[in-house]
A and B are shown apart, each in its own frame.
Chain A
């Protein structure tokens, strides 16, 4: 469907353009700007109505990232968890993706549904159920518990991306490698891995960012000893107190990797792989 043919007048087009563009800017871009401003508010002065712009700016809030223990602690925790979740979800997901992509499975449809299940279940249900089990297993309020919990909701994405990439490797190459003397491990190492590197990269990005942003499972499992950045954000937004400035800083810290990832991903990867990770069906 290219172009609505019935709007012909150029002036009308310009009007629509102006309206839509300004609406888009107000709705999607201004909040970012405001968030950045909030992060730069001078704590001694604050930013109260009716000021449209903060009276005075300072980097104090950003310095708090390193100075305030709970902020720096949450920062470190979030990134360590993200790295662990990325590694674990890729390592666990790779064999399953290989099976889905290249093996003749009898219950393939069922397994695909299983892989999608974490995303269709209401996360509250999963969180509370997991939370209660982890209490019994002694995994509650531990780093390992949070990592495992996050893996559950991250793996559907990594598995889908890896499966899409793996199915693109020509069978002839695998046959040639086996024929030339490569044992299964060598086939994986020398042929499969290099050829699925883009998919692995995409999967790692999705896993990393997904882990950074994950809130509910980490909250239910990790609270109060293990605190990630989203949990801290929740606290600053009124969960515990209401510190707009810190909330802004944490929001931006969480947003920057995400935006960077999207930028990199769009540049480096093929569209289909992204779609496999993001969308449904």
Chain B
């Protein structure tokens, strides 16, 4: 006989009369409560922490909320933003940088990934070294890149005795400095993703192409690139979003005009306390990011259709 009585006797004189529906309903409700209790600390916190700022942002952009708001629905903020060359040029500047960074990083990453497929001595070392920027936050990346290619950087110093003037990338109105740092920071993750996706291509597919007469270039363009496109677009998405919204780098080495969108938005908020325009800019940023995400998903869906036909 067990020494411990573990039975909790439930006084239920009419237990058998409980119909199927009641018990099932009670269980469902209990399950729901437990699920909710589990989700609230984490997902609930995140929900709250993002809905409040975003909601406030959207409302403020329409003049409904926030410090110094008009108090009624208005499109004044948007009109002010659209009409001010400061803001429109900022938008265009950020877009430029993002597109340039994305395209360049794709090219560089693809080339590097291709080279890494080669078997050469020191390949593993290179494979480890290029991952360094993955763990370097963008601020530090800015510092490191600057020490190398900034106006007083190592490259400039090495070239100086030969009389070659190294162009200053700092505060360059084309955003070249920003792009260089963003590339240093983002190319490794792109290489990682592209390599992984390329490695996933089954060898027999490439062999089949070769036996059918495709030379290396055509294998690359007609087989490898299309099959890599889901991974490539994922990588491109990451890089674009990072480059479009980056703050630290342009705030330090960006030109005075045009300024990056994020820098403009922050200064509207922190310096000028113009919350209305800042939030309108914020909404513009969200819309841009949202559109790119939607584009990405559309491309993914289409490529899934295609790869379904291949696989």
Contacts and interface: CB of A to CB of B under 8 A. Distances in A.
Interface of A: 1-7, 13-14, 16-17, 20-21, 24-25, 27-32, 34-35, 38, 48-52, 91-99, 103, 105, 111, 114-115, 117-118, 120-133, 135, 148, 151-152, 155-156, 159, 181, 209, 213, 215-216, 220, 223, 230, 233-234, 237-239, 244, 247-248, 251, 254-255, 258-259, 261-262, 278-281
B119 A1 contact: no
Contacts of B64: none
13 contacts: A1-B198, A16-B118, A17-B122, A20-B115, A92-B45, A95-B37, A124-B245, A128-B279, A215-B248, A223-B270, A233-B140, A247-B143, A278-B134
B117 A2 contact: yes
A220 B266 contact: yes
Interface stretch (B13-21, B51-59, B78-86): B51-59
B130 A24 contact: yes
A58 B301 CA distance: 58
A4 B224 CA distance: 12
Contacts of B118: 3-4, 7, 13, 16
Interface in B1-43: 6, 34-35, 37-43
Question: At the interface, is chain B mostly helix, strand, loop or mixed?
Answer: helix
A160 B201 CA distance: 27
Contact of B278 (A120, A128, A239, A280): A128
B301 to A, nearest CB: 14
Contact of A99 (B39, B266, B269): B39
A148 B147 CA distance: 34
Quick one: which of B34, B137, B198, B266 has the most chain A CB within 10 A? B137
B139 A98 contact: no
A17 B35 contact: no
Nearest to A103: B35
Contacts of A258: 135-137
A124 B137 contact: no
A121 B286 CA distance: 7
Quick one: which of B60, B119, B121, B132 has the most chain A CB within 10 A? B132
B53 A126 contact: yes
A51 B134 CA distance: 30
Given A7-B118, A21-B126, A129-B56, A120 B241 contact: yes
B157 A128 contact: no
B161 interface: yes
B68 to A, nearest CB: 11
B145 to A, nearest CB: 7
A49 B157 CA distance: 6
Contact of B216 (A6, A28, A34, A233): A6
Contact of B119 (A13, A117, A244): A13
B104 interface: no
Contacts of B157: 49-52
A128 B269 contact: yes
Contacts of B35: 99, 103, 105
Contacts of A155: 42, 45-46
Contacts of A96: 38-39, 41-43
A280 B234 contact: yes
Contacts of B144: 31-32, 34-35, 251
Contacts, number: 255
Contact of B41 (A29, A30, A92, A148): A92
Nearest to A97: B42
B87 interface: no
B71 interface: no
A214 to B, nearest CB: 8
B53 A132 contact: yes
A229 to B, nearest CB: 10
Interface in B240-260: 241, 244-245, 247-248, 251-253
B89 interface: no
B137 A280 contact: no
Given A111-B39, A124-B262, A261-B135, 18 more contacts: A1-B224, A17-B122, A20-B120, A29-B132, A30-B148, A34-B148, A52-B154, A96-B38, A99-B35, A99-B39, A122-B245, A128-B266, A129-B56, A131-B270, A148-B49, A213-B137, A213-B139, A216-B248
B50 interface: yes
B61 to A, nearest CB: 11
B109 interface: no
Contacts of A127: 247, 266
Contact of A215 (B67, B139, B160): B139
B91 interface: no
Contact of A132 (B38, B42, B269): B269
Given A1-B201, A215-B139, A129 B54 contact: yes
B93 interface: no
A49 B160 contact: yes
Contacts of B54: 121, 125-126, 129
A152 B46 contact: yes
